[in-house]
Amino acid sequence: MIDFAWPWVFLLLPLPLLVRWWLPASASPQEEALRVPFYATFRRASAGGNTLPAGRWSFWLALLAWGFLVLAAARPQWLGEAIELPISGRDLMLAVDLSGSMATKDFELNGSTVNRLQAIKAVAGEFIRRRVGDRLGLILFGTQAYLQTPLTFDRKTVATLLDEAQIGLAGKETAIGDAIGLAVKRLRNKDIKSRVLILLTDGANTAGEVEPVKAAELAAEEGLKIYTIGIGADSMVVRSFFGRQRVNPSADLDEKTLTAIAKKTGGQYFRARDTHSLEGIYKLLDKLEPVKKGEQTFRPRSALYVWPLAVALLFSSLLLLVRLRGSVASWSPKHE
């Protein structure tokens, strides 16, 4: 169906007629010094008596141009079929660690060894695409914490910006407390019942101005639930001067602090030792924080103002031609 965004504009339709009736007519032009008595008869004969006077053409063309111009100004729109929008009423923020240790290659993805950030991108990207109805945001943190994406329903943009993140972009250290503090600031909305932070890190808090546990207490006061995920394998084989050795690449992971953060806010702590366990964690998060569909609907709109505007310009051009033709006709006899 066709709808008008500004229907009140149609009140302006009679404006030219009101101006024509109320304002005094313009003064007649000064008569020519030389009169040709038979010129009017000659002009009617040459026209053949079959055409409307130029003044009548001008009036109707101007009226039509004004009508279509008002129609365009009312912003006609074509409304499509109603589309149901899944709205969960949840704000969900991802906080991803970009510190130097995330470059450790202790994950496997599609048969290849990849670093921790690459594994997060692959698994979290799919998780983001499944969160239909949630408003998503992205925080990247290292030595400092940055808001990469504010809360939005545009899941594709969030996934793209996560995929473009690079290790060391926010510094080489790990500011877990600052990342939580930034999330609390961005998720401080009393109108949203469910607010969730998913924090992924592979180390301990080594930078920043806020202690992680203190930041978690503030998050609990604001009603923010935090799920923490510890990233990294328990063991891996590395080559050294003394040959192949088995080491623990997650020795710096502070599981105690991550568990305390989740417990204080009513969330949970998860341990992701490989890509399979990381996928399982995100599937579990889907169950813990299910997407609920609301009843809001959306009708796509297509602007149609360009068509009446084009017609108005066409009638205006014809009006200009009629006026020019009348000017030429009135000018010619004076110079014969």
Cα–Cα distance measured from residue 305 to residue 84, given in angstroms and rounded to the nearest whole number: 27
Q: Residue 72: name the closest of 123, 4, 16 by CA.
A: 4
Task: Give the per-residue pLDDT at 49.
Answer: 44
Q: How far, rounded to the nearest angstrom, does the alpha carbon of residue 193 sit from its chain's CA centroid?
A: 23
Q: Per the confidence metrics, is the pTM higher than 0.85?
A: no
- CATH architecture of structural domain 84-288: 3-Layer(aba) Sandwich (3.40)
CB 301 within 8 Å of CB 79: yes
Q: Is the pLDDT of residue 205 over 90?
A: yes
Task: Give the per-residue pLDDT at 324.
Answer: 76
Compute the mean pLDDT over every residue in the chain, rounded to the nearest whole number.
Answer: 81
Average pLDDT over residues 299-307: 82
Q: What is the pLDDT of residues 263-299, one digit of tens each?
A: 999 999 999 988 888 889 888 888 877 765 555 566 6
Average pLDDT over residues 97-119: 89
Cα–Cα distance measured from residue 104 to residue 203, given in angstroms and rounded to the nearest whole number: 12
Q: Is the pLDDT of residue 42 over 50?
A: no
Range with the poorest average pLDDT among 19-23, 202-206, 295-299, 322-326: 295-299
Domain residue limits, the chain: 84-288
pLDDT band at 87 (very low <50, low <70, confident <90, very high): low
Task: Give the per-residue pLDDT at 27.
Answer: 54
More confident residue, 180 or 37: 180
% of the chain residues with pLDDT over 70? 79
Q: Is the pLDDT of residue 245 over 90?
A: no
Q: Is the pLDDT of residue 33 over 50?
A: no
Q: Is the pLDDT of residue 328 over 50?
A: yes
Cα–Cα distance measured from residue 69 to residue 311, given in angstroms and rounded to the nearest whole number: 8
Task: Give the per-residue pLDDT at 126.
Answer: 86
Quick one: tokens of 206?
């080594």
Average pLDDT over residues 292-317: 78
Q: Could you tell me the CA-to-CA distances from 97 to 15, 112, 167, 169, 177 in Å, in that order?
A: 64, 22, 8, 10, 12
Burial of 201 (0-12, 13-18, 19+ CB in 10 A): buried
3-class secondary-structure state, position 94: strand
Average pLDDT over residues 57-75: 86
Task: Give the per-residue pLDDT at 149.
Answer: 93
Q: Is the pLDDT of residue 214 over 90?
A: yes
**Which of 13-17, 39-43, 186-190: highest mean pLDDT?**
13-17
**Which of 26-40, 210-224, 319-333: highest mean pLDDT?**
210-224
More confident residue, 326 or 295: 326
